Chains A and B, each alone.
Chain A
């Protein structure tokens, strides 16, 4: 796993909870590197899973909720860290369409050993289906990322996770305009 994902996870815990919680999570996880991560390094994704597990124990929140929140937060961090990646895009749908074809391609150019998840986007009329697949069980993080991009661009869209999705390694998200419910 790229260092940016796990280093930003520590940062998010510090911001969302507190530096003491982050410290406790690191200590509790018993990580071999003792929580020392740089954005330019590579680390086992099990470190991130261990920290998520420890955080869930400490905070008494479900891992899925925590991972989704982290993904949502990470979207805005990516925009801060890599603004050139978002240049020229004015809406989330177009950006999402190019994630696998362009952005992941750029990542593999820079890091030939990187194993990026596969993102397949299908546009059907006004609906967009984003299918996530990875050897890492981070479908919840992906969900949060999708939501984060949509909110960033201010698009009036909702993201519905397909309940039939097989598990944390794969998920399908339906992105569409929210249904209007007229009351009274």
Chain B
């Protein structure tokens, strides 16, 4: 069957004989039937063709109208596209590879400085429009990228296999080629226009390059913005580097300042120790004088020497306080404090000075002033002393009034009002500076100018406020501090001290270890005034020997810095002794007052400390605390 030739059908003879006309009449009849069919077919075809012609004419009219409409639409859209390209600084090119024809949108011609509509036959005309240094680069790019792709004539898939173009363009056909070049912004001008050229091949069904579609975008603004951003970034980086350098310098400077400050603090500590030690001797020895044996002249001289010594002690304490405040180490030691006593004691202390100048010194405590508060009584007294002494110092007639009241906020406000020379408003800020002396007309020179500066620091630590206002005459210095009221403590006695006695009525036996003879005499004198039994040794080793000798002591006063064996070592060894001896109360006796300087003694096991120059009340209180002996007042006996 397959391959059956056209003429291979042979009709059976009887069939052919029956069908094929033999006589002329039958042949004519057959011919007439065929002719009639042919004519009928022709007529039908003509009719159909006429119908189709009419349809075609109508279709033609419709198509013409549609074409006109499309042409108008195309024209409008082309114009819109060109306008859009002009506004966006964007142009297109189409390179027909087969026919070697280049088609440019007008905007491309404008961008590379050609007259719009001018004939551009080859890409070399475009290249000539660029800056000289960019021409070679563009040609290299074209030859290296685009033409190489053309010469290869077939796509290579990314896996290296030739692409057959089926079922569609391979990845390479979709690849974008891009380069950025520059051309003069205008003819003869110095301005530069930056262009980004992007090309993509359009391929035929076999994935062979047919056209290259190219877009040209004016990126001058973007490049300028990028350059400015880069410059800005460079400047910022430079600034950052400068700041880092400056920061390093500042850190170095701060380290140096910290070192200098530490050195100053150490210097101050050493100096205060070195000054305190002889001062301790002077003041201590003065307190041992039995005035009853002196003449009136000697008593006056003694009073002057005592006064000078006290001033020197106050000044020394002020300097140390200021150094502590600057180092941020001014700390409070709050405890149960009788506020009324602190205020009245302060006033009483300064009353003799007011009397000397014929000034009144009055206290007015508001009824709601609390008696017992949780506060640092020493610092509170320091504030009162400073303000009262200043008021008396700068007042020549009239008087001084100490007033307190409780503010609605619960804070305590204390005022010291004088009738002195007053402080001009514009100079008040100077008052609280260190070493500040206003030297106002009519004022007496004196002091180091540290008092109010220290008060300011103390108030800051307390979290309060300090200030000065005008009074009716003179000034009103005030401070406001938060206070915590507390109930009356159970076992507190009159702080006026005179002697110590244990529960059994026996006076304490005290061992004193001190290397300096003057200090030994002072401490011994103080203790004897407190009616203690005293045994004195000269260094830590002797103290250790004394404790271990079997002699029963109630207490050891231990100096820190001593030859042979220092205080901390001796303390440690006593604590290592067997039995009850290890529990022997030890009070550190030292001119070092900073907490970190006391630390070796406290770490070695000392129970308490007393600063030199010795204030006899402080010594008394410390012994009371350590031995648990209630305070007694000989006056009451």
Interface on A for B, CB 8 Å cutoff?
Answer: 7, 15-21, 23-24, 26, 34-41, 58-61, 64-65, 68-69, 72-73, 143, 147, 151, 158-159
Contacts and interface: CB of A to CB of B under 8 A. Distances in A.
A36 B4 contact: no
- Pick the 3 closest A-B CB pairs, nearest first: A38-B45, A36-B40, A36-B41
Contact of A16 (B7, B15, B19, B40): B7
Contacts of B44: 36, 38, 41
Given A17-B9, A17-B11, A159-B2, A36 B37 contact: yes
A59 B42 CA distance: 29
B442 interface: no
A72 B52 CA distance: 31
Interface in B22-49: 30, 33-34, 37, 40-42, 44-45, 48-49
A18 B41 contact: no
A61 B9 contact: yes
A60 B30 contact: no
B19 A73 contact: no
Given A21-B19, A38-B41, A41-B44, A16 B6 contact: yes
Contacts of A72: 4, 6
Given A36-B41, A38-B41, A69-B6, A60 B15 contact: yes
Contacts of A23: 30, 33-34
A73 B9 CA distance: 13
Contacts of A40: 45, 48-49, 52
A154 B21 CA distance: 40
A30 B74 CA distance: 57
15 contacts: A15-B6, A16-B9, A18-B19, A20-B19, A20-B20, A35-B37, A36-B37, A36-B44, A38-B45, A40-B52, A41-B48, A68-B1, A72-B6, A143-B2, A147-B2
Nearest to A24: B19
Contacts of A58: 11, 15, 19
Overall SS of chain A's interface: helix
Most central of A7, A35, A40, A60 by chain B CB within 10 Å: A40
A159 B21 CA distance: 40
Contacts of B45: 38-41
Contacts of A64: 1
A16 B34 CA distance: 17
B41 A69 contact: no
A19 B4 contact: no
B16 to A, nearest CB: 8
B550 interface: no
A184 B583 CA distance: 132
A151 B3 CA distance: 9
Contacts of A19: 30, 34
A19 B34 CA distance: 8
A16 B4 CA distance: 12
Residue in A20, A26, A143 with the greatest tally of chain B CB atoms within 10 Å: A20
Given A24-B19, A159-B2, 15 more contacts: A15-B6, A20-B30, A34-B37, A35-B37, A36-B44, A38-B42, A40-B45, A40-B52, A41-B44, A41-B45, A60-B15, A72-B4, A73-B6, A143-B2, A147-B2
A65 B10 CA distance: 13
Contacts of A69: 4, 6, 9
A159 B2 CA distance: 8
Nearest to A7: B41
B12 interface: yes
A65 B30 CA distance: 27
B304 to A, nearest CB: 129
Nearest to B40: A36
A180 to B, nearest CB: 18
Contact of B9 (A24, A38, A59, A159): A59
A42 to B, nearest CB: 9
Contact of B4 (A35, A59, A68): A68
Counting chain A CB atoms within 10 Å of each CB, which of B19, B33, B44 scores highest? B19
A69 B1 CA distance: 8
